[in-house]
Structure 1
Amino acid sequence: MARNKAAQGGKGTPATVALTRAGAEFTLHAYSHDPDAASYGEEAAAALGVSADRVFKTLLADVDGALTVGVVPVAGKLDLKALAAAVGGKRAAMADPAAAERATGYVVGGISPLGQKKRLATVVDATALTHPTVFVSAGRRGLEIELAAAVLVELTGARTAAIGRA
């Protein structure tokens, strides 16, 4: 995997800038985004020709009043109880999309776990570590970052736990 210095179209996204600043190795993958796609993550997996269990979606939840990031395979769903337990909380509910956009600086469907405006507690589903590389949003619909799961965990300050379900 070669180190990419910037995303397409100039200076890059906050996610690619964060990776470059950290000296992390990653590969950027662009594809033509269909605004009518039912699932952004499944669209990315199909467009890139990779298994949906290697493409991860970034979801925000409100855990006991605090926004928390859950990163799970697009083929599954976020287990809110497991996410709450992973961060020592009791109750979790999906965050309001507008609150998620304000906190991360990204638009829904293009939220990256990397380069967010505010550093939020992050949990990456433990299955990520079973793959040599995983794909996450680069911060824009139609743009994915491929990187080692360990790098994703390190740079987001995440913990890993079984937070995804089929």
Structure 2
Amino acid sequence: MLDIALETDSEWDSSGTDWATLADRAVRAAFSETPHAPLAEGPRAVELSMVLTGDEDVRALNAQWRGKDKPTNVLSFPMVEAILDEPADGPPLLLGDIILAHGVCSREAADKGIATETHAQHLMIHGTLHLLGYDHHDDDEAHDMESREIRALAGLGLPDPYADRQEAC
């Protein structure tokens, strides 16, 4: 059973978007592209927190935890590593935290010519995959993670965010 604790600030709230529904759909889509898909619907409680906040909050977290004193679009803070090794009937499984920066997300969406909601869902999927142990430190990992993102977005009826690259992954 998947539970997403969502917190939004006034920048995100002012759009009138149902962020809770979009977050739930994006997280479930990410799960569906991994071997961990059964956890999202199983009897065990699986929890993550998602914070939709401003650039300054994300800048401060990025500086503190990654040594980069600038805002970024999404940060992920995984709390577990081998979630499949956990018993199916164990205590709640806390996956970690995902934080999105409104200004960065909105600017990137505008640059791509897509809705902020569409780009935010991509970042939510990306962040969820990080919580599930995926990364993009090398070409093979990046290809695998991007492929999962593309399939998850397609499942939501959203376009491939990497389609405009000259080199396909």
Q: When the two structures are superposed, what TM-score results if normalisation uses the length of structure 2?
A: 0.28
Q: When the two structures are superposed, what TM-score results if normalisation uses the length of structure 1?
A: 0.28
More helix by share: 2
Give the number of the structure whose alpha-carbon radius of gyration is greater: 2
